[in-house]
Structure 1
């Protein structure tokens, strides 16, 4: 990985983390407030996501749709499938349940690790463990269908 790519990655990560901290979305109580649509619903997370989309959508259109390759080289890594299969739906459901139970999304969890919150450290350790064992579960699912 080139120095330029690492620097752009660093700046992007810092911007993301600062934005999450500034918006307060590293606080699980705010995320749970957004998910609590039948109680004390807090719409602030929707505005954070909407603001992100307002910046992302024109940038995506301008850069990805009009360029042959990324600014820093290589190739765009865009999804090619539009199929909603069992694997995608199960993964999305598990992600949503985990997000709802913890009240935190992985991005803000990584951002909040700087506060050395033990709950976030445990969450991230479990997240990494889940990512490590997911291929095993996928292999088991394939064996059951064959």
Structure 2
């Protein structure tokens, strides 16, 4: 990432967060039961929420990467990050999916849910932090002591 960010970087990120939270609240995606209904294919509203976000982001990237060499706020060069479908992606996605299915809580919606007064959700948010910490600790334990680099996951 470049050293100097555009002065509007943080305000734009904040406004984006406000719009995101407002959209989650208006669409009722801050309610775990709505997410669980989606996962049971009883309410497909979440598809529209995710689709709208994907369309906006896809359009912005398509336009900006053709009209500018650098990202407008960060000053970074546009580039495509190619991530292979490896074991970490499959296992991590599966674990995420199980947690999402058991709780009906998606991370973004969980934070926004606090904004509508759903304070018991803080227990789930604490669980997300603990899970992420345990994963980081486990990865660090698996790292090779001489190089500090995690071993390759060859299967």
Give the TM-score category using the shorter length: 0.7 to 0.9
1:78, 1:120 → 2: CA distance? 37
Q: 1:4 to 1:30 in 2, by over 3 A?
A: same
Match of 1:108 in 2: 109
8 Å CA contact 2:100–2:106 kept in 1: the answer is yes
Q: 1:20 to 1:77 in 2, by over 3 A?
A: farther
Q: 1:115 to 1:136 in 2, by over 3 A?
A: same
Q: Could you give the per-residue CA deviations for residues 59-84 of structure 1, whole angstroms, max 9, x where no partner exists?
A: 12112354322112331586633311
Q: Report the Cα offset of residue 139 of structure 1.
A: 3.2
Q: 1:66 to 1:95 in 2, by over 3 A?
A: farther
Aligned equivalent of 1:10, options 10, 14, 27: 14
* Cα root mean square deviation, aligned: 2.4
1:77, 1:107 → 2: CA distance? 25
Q: 1:58 to 1:81 in 2, by over 3 A?
A: closer
8 Å CA contact 1:21–1:111 kept in 2: the answer is yes
Aligned equivalent of 1:22, options 7, 21, 26: 26
Task: Describe the SS at the equivalent of 1:92.
Answer: helix
Number of positions where the alignment pairs a residue of Structure 1 with one of Structure 2: 143
Give the TM-score, by structure 1 length.
Answer: 0.83
The higher-RCO structure (CA 8 Å, 6+ apart) is: 2
1:31, 1:141 → 2: CA distance? 35
Task: Describe the SS at the equivalent of 1:64.
Answer: helix
Q: 1:130 to 1:34 in 2, by over 3 A?
A: same
Structure 2 alignment gaps of length 5 or more? 145-150
Q: 1:76 to 1:14 in 2, by over 3 A?
A: farther
